[in-house]
Structure 1
Amino acid sequence: MERRTFLIQASAAAMAAACSGAHWAQGEAAVEAELTLREGQRTVPVPLNYTGLSYELAQLTDPQFFSAANHELVTRFRLLSPHGVLRTGGNTSEFCWFQADAATVGPKLRIPPGKLEDNWMPHRLFAIRPEAIDALAGFLQATGWRLIYGLNFGNSTPERAATEAAYVARAVGDRMEYFQIGNEPDLYENANNGTRPPGWGFADYLKEWTAYAEAIAARVPGARFGGPDVNGSSEWVTRFGEEVPAGVRPRLTTLTGHYYAEGPPNDPRVTTERLLKGNAKIAGEIQSIEAVAKAHGLVYRMTEGNSCYRGGKPGMSNAFASALWAGDYMLELASLGCAGVNLHGGRSAFLTAGLGDHTPGMEVAKTPQAMRIGFYTPIFSEPESPVKAMPIFYGMLLANQFAGGVMLEVDGTIEGVNATAYAARSGSGFKVALFNKDESKTLDVSIRLPARVSGEVRKATAWRLQAPALDATEGVTLAGAEIQAGQWSPREAEPVAVSSGVARIRVPASSAALVFLG
């Protein structure tokens, strides 16, 4: 037996093949787990705007997409969270430019060394016009969301960035969260990126970033910044938090970085089984970042990520497995003190453009339909098709129930099943999320309430997150209900037995439960 705090997790010796579509195991004895909620020790508040989405900045070349008139998209955003954060950025942000008027001339496109077919960045520029920014401002008002806006750092100048930031700030107003300068600068020197020459590193980045930040601050008195928005280097994040110059440091509010659990999609080692096992390194990296953030009065936000980099893997990223992964991952970061999570998505045309027009996910798609929806986007929004919440959206929706609460420590013992547990105090009650990511074993959980309320809580209910199979792309439900036409409400709030301060619930294999106590 082993004892864990915050996260209760143990992997089974073996799971069935990742995307087999097998039905749940029947008749097998359940694995038992005992959990205890702890108050008065380490508690972590979850911001109301914890949940977010990330899109390619080039999406703004279509002014009708992020628009208050795009009612289908507005309803999905509002359903996911009434207080969310939209981040625009991605690889295409390094190739976007603000065309203030017809006389504005675009920047010079940097051509990376080597063969273009070996490069994974866009090979063209994207013009963003004022009407797109104005429409974006209306979209933010209609959804109640706030904005993280990524500025071009790869093919631009401080002056261009300042002009763009000034227009965005005026249009968006109090919906502006902060600006970011550049996307994944820790990869710039790599051959498949080529945004900067070999040998270009953090010191060069910070010098150039500071010049951009100072130019923006001169044009936008209230400008705030997040950064460094790296691919995966926690060292860059901590150095950035410690070394940002004093002149712009008061404007820095947030340390940011990205996380993709798996990838690329055409690597045979990328499987649903491996995705759902989780990553033991996450906690240590987040804790090191949080220590620096706290020391400098900052917070950390994961501003771009998903289940599988380079667009996602069909049968995994667009399937129910991604819902279990997303809910689990978001609540793990919440328990570690992260201020928010933005999962990446959008229209396939812009996701593909951001990959240098490569489509590795298509190589493993088995049907035309899978090829069409194989990307990892939480909201499917292809032209001439109905807007649809994808399976991963359901996991995000479950995790968002913790927004505004306070994460609590969870003590317990467990063995023999791949499962995680998270708890929060919310108002006068408690919420406990249980993820049974094992494909074959049922989990029986006993949840012991804090001593001060153990005799007061006499009833509990649960929502189930479930689907026909891990690779199911249809039939996903939360609380017994599917999202239809952008609308959802819980249909089944299952009673949970509570006796002497202990709630007991069974969580079948490959499913999750959200328990409401009190």
Structure 2
Amino acid sequence: MYYPLFALSTCLFASAVHADVTIYGLLGQTTAAPVQTGTATGTTQQSATTSFVTTHGPPQYTELAAYNNIYMEPPAIPNPPPANQFAIGVPTDATLMNGLSIKQSGTFFGFSIEMSVVNQLIGSCPQDLKVPFLNYMSIIAEKAGSVHVRVGGNTQETAFVVPSLDDGKIIEKNKEDASNPTSTPILALTPDLLYMLANVSSLVNINWYLGVPFNDTANWRFQIAELGEQILGDRLLGFQAANEPDLYGAHGHRPSSYSPFDFFGEYALFTQAWEADTQITRKNTVIAPSTSYALWSPEQVWDTGFVEAYGPYLSHLAVEHYPSDNCAVVWPDPNNPPRDPLVMFPQYLTHNAGINFAKPYLNSTRLAQQWDKPFLLFETNSASCGGFPGISDTFTSSLWGIDHALQLAHSNFSGALFHFGGQTVSYNPFTAVPTNESAVHGWTTGPLFYSAVFVAELMGQSNTTQLIDMLPNNANDQTPAYAVFENGKFSKMALLNYMTDPSGANDYTATIYVGGSGWNEPNGAPASVKVKYLRAPSVSEKDNITWAGQTLGGRFASDGRWQGDLDIQTVQCDQTQNMCQIKVPAPGAALVFFSDEAQAAATGDNDIATFVTTAVTKTKNTVTVDPSVLATSNGDSGKSRLSNMGGTSQGGSNGAMSVVAPGVAALVSVLAGMSVFFRVSR
């Protein structure tokens, strides 16, 4: 049963009066030049609704990158095309399958949020949370069990904590005094930022990574860690110390000669200060080295003895890496000319992209297992500096994101965090509506978020998931497939089709044989399987994307909840022939549920707890929340974090639910730009 929640917010009024800049620099291909129009081959063609790019350099447009209309014709079907009928054999018993990954968790596909934009995505203060953010995260948490989110990035390096800021703000950016080529501002933040994260975790099962500054090795600032431990408690996963240190020299943060051995020496200073800080009680929560692969390979760091020296402090090993960059559009560099999106486009529509990305890290993931440390891709996305409009914000990124994540899991990474920027980037999993349009528009769901949903459901909640890249269809790079085992048994299969063909001629059918004589097992095909499809009309589609028949809406059209009717298809198998035939559209992806347990989990979509917003008047709104979510979503019900919770009846004493302090209520920003307290009536 759901109950209305309502009240007023003081921090809402502050944020309404003082509009905060929530992104630094000018990211992506946003320019003041006229829009270029034409087909992908350069023929002029005007369009009232769609902007086409040409072969004469990168596209230009005047809109914010998150909402651009850049369109590129999908790549042609390969000639000759791959076979559209092929077989895949898989055993029922994992012990018969060589090359399986380590055991993976449902939290594998996580998110990275730049510290300077938390007020845009999560909330403006502990009492003011963004409803769509909660809804998006709830979708992932319901399938994965929980969500891992990192708050950090370049802005963590100069961050410092102050007791308070004017008008109740939680962050304040100082770009004028910043000195770096990427225009990263100096960031002041208050403890309320951390209380806000704790409030979010009281509603949705989210655990956090935090970044701590590494810019001043003579005066370490550990307040984020000290307060993070106190406020987030067991919701805290670890602290990243140093963000892309291999770029410190190039970005002017260290001498140009800065080397892995210099970094090793600075980490000695860091760990000494970390050990001496009595307010940090969990010393083994550090995440490093977080190199970007731009200048140093991981091996160059390992060769210094880094893990052997600092292993007792390290909870995770991590790297950051994007497969490409779009930086030259923002920061012209004669050594890095702008990349032609028409050339880049097909590079994201091939299975080899993920294989080639993971290959340089196979030695590191092997070493990480020897050192008993999880190995994370701590920040990634389709391309750094905001991604490529027309690629990063299309169905291409949905398919690329699935394949990218699953290839990393197959290669024994333990997690990958996909990065958010602001409204001037095109790769966001989702984007908040501009403040001045929040009364009339909703949020924008990025195609990459559908990748997160797919992967969360594939990984599930068993924490025993193992994957293998099946390389079917003679290892054709347009038709990849992964087999999934849980608790040692075959449970699911992921099938992708990178081609775009509205005629259906390049849809393919995979015939999956389960067990049988080829594996020296009894036949294992079930009587039927459940299938969820991720679909779009083409890889260039931005808005019309569905997962199991439902959509999260196009640009400016989402509140983070599913729209439409759920469509889980049942495919009958031929147990006599021991086979199940699964058709995969061009383009599209299919998640096939084989085991009884997997099929049961596939049908639980109606159990997702969402936060509904309804405008009642200009001054009063309602939010409906399942009270059982408030009672259980925090793992320990929040009771150990706050002793004086008070009653929860409307109008009652201490009636507001919060983890901040007695009498302080957590509230939610509704889509109409209003805010309301969480207050659950009984």
Measured against the shorter chain, the TM-score band is 0.7 to 0.9
Secondary structure, aligned partner of 1:434: strand
Map of 1:263 onto structure 2: 325
5 Å-filtered alignment, 1:325-340, equals 325-340=400-415
Secondary structure, aligned partner of 1:513: strand
Superposed CA deviations along residues 428-461 of structure 1, whole A, max 9, x for unmatched, are: 6511111111234332212222344634522112
Secondary structure, aligned partner of 1:250: helix
Choose from 417, 428, 450 the match for 2:515.
Answer: 450
Map of 1:377 onto structure 2: 428
Whether 1:188 aligns to 2:248 is yes
Choose from 486, 496, 503 the match for 2:560.
Answer: 486
**1:468/1:215 CA distance change after superposition, 3 Å:** same
**1:61/1:477 CA distance change after superposition, 3 Å:** closer
Whether 1:439 aligns to 2:500 is yes
The structure where strand makes up a greater share of residues is 1
- Match of 1:33, as an amino acid? F
Whether 1:250 aligns to 2:315 is no
Map of 1:64 onto structure 2: 123
Superposed CA deviations along residues 471-515 of structure 1, whole A, max 9, x for unmatched, are: 211110011111263233972222324223222122222211111
**1:453/1:207 CA distance change after superposition, 3 Å:** farther
Secondary structure, aligned partner of 1:506: strand
RMSD: 3.1
5 Å-filtered alignment, 1:121-160, equals 121-122=183-184, 124-154=185-215, 156-157=216-217, 159-160=219-220
Choose from 257, 262, 265 the match for 1:199.
Answer: 257
Map of 1:361 onto structure 2: none
Map of 2:660 onto structure 1: none
**1:77/1:99 CA distance change after superposition, 3 Å:** same
Give, in whole Å, the separation in 2 of the partners of 1:486 and 1:24: 34
1:254 Cα deviation from its structure 2 partner? 1.2
Give, in whole Å, the separation in 1 of the partners of 2:447 and 2:390: 11
Larger displacement relative to structure 2 (466-475 or 207-216): 207-216
Instruction: Please give the TM-score of this superposition, normalised by the length of structure 2.
Output: 0.63
Map of 2:111 onto structure 1: 53
Larger displacement relative to structure 2 (460-469 or 491-500): 491-500
Give, in whole Å, the separation in 1 of the partners of 2:355 and 2:478: 13
Secondary structure, aligned partner of 1:186: helix
**1:492/1:285 CA distance change after superposition, 3 Å:** same
**1:239/1:84 CA distance change after superposition, 3 Å:** farther
1:48 Cα deviation from its structure 2 partner? 2.9
Secondary structure, aligned partner of 2:157: helix
Choose from 304, 308, 332 the match for 2:379.
Answer: 304
1:66 Cα deviation from its structure 2 partner? 7.5
- Extract structure 1 runs of 4+ deviating beyond 6 A: 106-111
Superposed CA deviations along residues 282-318 of structure 1, whole A, max 9, x for unmatched, are: 2322211111101211111111110111011211111
Superposed CA deviations along residues 378-398 of structure 1, whole A, max 9, x for unmatched, are: 021134342343211011210
Choose from 442, 446, 451 the match for 1:395.
Answer: 451
- Of structures 1 and 2, the larger Rg is shown by 2
5 Å-filtered alignment, 1:74-223, equals 74-81=134-141, 82-100=145-163, 112=179, 119-122=181-184, 124-154=185-215, 156-157=216-217, 159-190=219-250, 193-219=251-277, 220-223=280-283
Larger displacement relative to structure 2 (436-445 or 201-210): 436-445
Secondary structure, aligned partner of 1:47: coil
Superposed CA deviations along residues 45-85 of structure 1, whole A, max 9, x for unmatched, are: 11132121001112356783475732221111121234111
Give, in whole Å, the separation in 1 of the partners of 2:261 and 2:475: 46
Give, in whole Å, the separation in 1 of the partners of 2:469 and 2:401: 20
Choose from 532, 535, 539 the match for 1:466.
Answer: 535
Map of 2:417 onto structure 1: 342
Give, in whole Å, the separation in 2 of the partners of 1:263 and 1:409: 27
Secondary structure, aligned partner of 2:367: helix
1:91 Cα deviation from its structure 2 partner? 1.8
Give, in whole Å, the separation in 2 of the partners of 1:472 and 1:183: 34
Is residue 119–residue 125 contact of structure 2 (8 Å, CA) maintained in 1? Answer: no
Map of 1:363 onto structure 2: none
Give, in whole Å, the separation in 2 of the partners of 1:66 and 1:475: 34
- Match of 2:542, as an amino acid? T
Give, in whole Å, the separation in 2 of the partners of 1:99 and 1:229: 27
**1:159/1:36 CA distance change after superposition, 3 Å:** farther
Larger displacement relative to structure 2 (33-42 or 288-297): 33-42
1:132 Cα deviation from its structure 2 partner? 1.3
Is residue 421–residue 432 contact of structure 1 (8 Å, CA) maintained in 2? Answer: yes
Map of 1:360 onto structure 2: none
Gaps of 5+ in 2: 1-39, 42-52, 54-70, 166-172, 330-337, 553-557, 596-682
Superposed CA deviations along residues 348-381 of structure 1, whole A, max 9, x for unmatched, are: 3xxx6xxxxxxxxxxxxxxxxxxxxx52110211
1:469 Cα deviation from its structure 2 partner? 2.0
